[in-house]
Amino acid sequence: MLVIALDTSTPAVTAGLVALDGGGPRPLAQRVTINARAHGELLTPHLMAAVAEAGHQLSDADAVVVGSGPGPFTGLRAGMVTAGALGHALDVPVHPV
């Protein structure tokens, strides 16, 4: 199972792709930038770079997880809206964590 992981509940902009198999979660690729004012600008490019580095496409994902806080309103909003849009577009479940 492949899971898109997003977190914008801290000053870090974090996106990655994680494999969940019998051995537990295994990060395949990630991008992290510490910039509390760049969640909206960097989250999607970070995700696309991580997915490409892992050798996958967004359509390979089976689920999306997203950090749900607590955290700054603007950062949380960027992450949760991105996760919701991805889940809707890919027809996969979205899980707040």
Containing H/E element for 50? helix 39-53
CATH number at 35 reads 3.30.420.40
What does the pLDDT average to over 58-87?
Answer: 93
Number of domains in the chain: 1
Other Cβ atoms within 10 Å of 56 Cβ, number: 17
pLDDT band at 62 (very low <50, low <70, confident <90, very high): very high
Instruction: Name the residue with tokens 């991008």.
Output: 31
Return d(Cα 4, Cα 16) in angstroms, integer: 6
Q: What is the pTM of this model?
A: 0.94
> Which residue segment(s) compose the domain that 67 sits in?
2-96
Give the pLDDT confidence of 23-38 residue by residue, as tens digits. Answer: 889 999 999 999 999 9
